[in-house]
Structure 1
Amino acid sequence: MWLTFGYDDIEYLMVSTKNDRKQLIDFIINDKTINCNIEEKYELISKIIVYNVINKDW
């Protein structure tokens, strides 16, 4: 009963602040446990949304 999914199944990565976004980007780029190629890492980074930024827009 394990839930399995691929990186392409991820629509959004939501974080609270711009600093959290920077930390997540650093983690995605530098962490060796993330098993994907650089293009997939860039795609993951492109899916990061900062809540404090979009909250102002709405």
Structure 2
Amino acid sequence: MEPAEVERLIEEGVEDADATVSRPRNPDDDSHLAAVVVGTDIHALELKTYTPEEYADHG
């Protein structure tokens, strides 16, 4: 998924949010994204993300 698409999804889903999404490790790394979200509705958000296979193994 492209960073711009993730930005769009965040901004559409969180009212008055301004999102900036980047690939922090390497511009060619499609697996890792970082987001900065500025808005009044959410102060902090912690995500744990997995592939379906990783989640099945996680328990």
Scaled to the shorter chain, the TM-score interval is under 0.3
Higher relative contact order (CA 8 A, sep 6+): 1
Give the structure with the higher percent strand: 2
TM-score by length of 2: 0.26
Structure with greater proportional helix content: 1
TM-score (norm 1): 0.26
